[in-house]
Structure 1
Amino acid sequence: MTEADGEPGGLTVTGVGRVRAEPGLARVALVVEVVEPSPDLAFRNAGEAVSRLRGVLRRHGLADEGVSASRLALASEFDGYGTGRRFVGYACRAAYGVETEALDGLQRLIVDVVAAGAQRIDGVEFDVRDREALGDEARRRAVADARRRAGVYAGAAGVRLGPVVSLRDLEAGHAQAPGLRAGAGGGPAGDLAPGAVELTAAVRVGWALIP
């Protein structure tokens, strides 16, 4: 994309840079949920499920400080709508976020946490370890892409690129590898290989033009 930069003889071009890398870690979002007829029973059974879950995570080498958790939440649970709506009990929920670099054991981890009492796996997100370095490489490629495009336009117009007069980071962000989801009914199916993680950067660069 090009546009006039407000200066006579100027040229502004947007460049995009992408870097693909194998993921080095995974973040698993899981939920413990217990529905019981009384609040006390819901809290007690949810607490037992959380204890089992913590034990499974420790056996997989995940220390307590590496597990983020929300507080236990209690809410009335209903089924149906309108006049057919009926009270089914008290739902006690706790959501956890688990980060692991042991990707080879990820499927076994998910199966084990479901067996321990995690009723839902809300998502599996893959990421890279050194995001900052890869992001810098994407930015360098974005500048190179902008320079290449600008050179094509300048050559076609019979002029040369002069000094850079403006530079703006467009914060293109990044696109992660596809996330994976698995339900509690029988565990995840198939291979959990995530493919590559892609980081993207965009920059808008303005040049003076030399006849």
Structure 2
Amino acid sequence: MPDPHPTPQSPQVTVRGEARLEKDPEIARIGIEVTARGTDKTAVLADLTRRNTEALTLIKTYGEAVEKLETGAFSITPEASRRGRGEHVRSYRGWVHLTAELSDFTALGELTTRLADLEWTRVDGPWWELRPDSPAHAEARRRAVQDAVRRAGEYAAALGTSLAALLELSDTGLVPPPAPMGGMRMAFAAESVDTTPPLELEPQRQTVTAEVMARFTMAPPTL
């Protein structure tokens, strides 16, 4: 076993290995918010329920292209009158937030456009991502290790010697990709009268970064 403590007979070199990859996204997320507003609470709830059902039904027609569909939050809020004293409700506002994940980017543009055409519906996104188990993460880690071995070998070669053994390899963790610079937002508060052509969306390349620390022993150099 190599001596873990550096000595003239067992000198050590510690390096950092890095890798940065650019990959096409694998999934896209969009946020959908349906809204209803009015002076009658029961009518607001009825409108909200209907619009939420319309949005869910439309999304589900895309079948396997939609990998995940979730309801995130629901709210019905009374809005107080600004005039007079006491607690007077002027109107009610309700909303439901949905999240959908798609792997078929061809369907994505059409779906976002059709959702935005719905009555009182807002669409946010898309946010492009890699899957948590994407092979890109393993590839980044592998390249980071290779980079560490290359760097250590270059230091050893500069001393006229070579690497002898690996003492330690530590993963400093994957650096998350940079946050997307905003996203598309569309808000429509009226009924659509014509069929809107699908949006043409260009997937945003994703950055995967890995970093490791490695410690090696070297054969004693002749200085």
The reply to whether TM is greater than 0.5 is yes
1:146-165 map, 5 Å: 146-165=148-167
Give the structure 2 partner of residue 11 of structure 1.
13
Aligned partners of 1:157 and 1:88: how far apart in 2? Answer: 81
RMSD: 3.3
**Secondary structure of the equivalent of 2:63?**
coil
* Equivalent of 1:170 in 172, 178, 181: 172
Shift of 1:36: 2.1
Aligned to 1:60: 62
Say whether the 8 Å CA contact 2:65–2:103 is kept in structure 1: no
Q: Deviations over 1:104-142 (max 9, x none)?
A: 121111111122246322321223458342211111000
Moved more, 162-171 or 183-192: 183-192
Report if the CA contact (8 A) 1:177-1:196 is conserved: no
Q: Could you say if the C-alpha distance between residues 131 and 64 of structure 1 is closer, same or farther in structure 2, counting changes exceeding 3 Å?
A: closer
Structure 2 counterpart of 1:184: 187
SS in 2 for 1:174: coil
More off after superposition, 60-69 vs 119-128: 60-69
Contact kept? 1:175, 1:197, Cα under 8 Å: yes
Q: Which amino acid aligns with 1:167?
A: L
Q: Which structure has more helix as a fraction of its residues?
A: 1
TM-score by length of 2: 0.76
Is 1:193 the counterpart of 2:202? The answer is yes
Q: Which protein has the larger Cα radius of gyration, Structure 1 or Structure 2?
A: 2
**Contact 1:50–1:117 (CA under 8 A) maintained in structure 2:** no
Question: Structure 1 pair 189/62, CA: closer, same or farther in 2 (3 Å)?
Answer: closer
SS in structure 2 opposite 1:99? strand
Identity %: 25
Q: Unmatched 5+ residue regions in structure 2? A: 83-87
8 Å Cα contact 1:53/1:117 also seen in 2: no
Give the partner amino acid of 1:104: T
Q: Which residue of 1 aligns with 2:85?
A: none
Aligned length: 202
Aligned partner of 1:107 among 106, 109, 113: 109
| TM-aligned CA deviation for residue 145 of structure 1 | 0.9
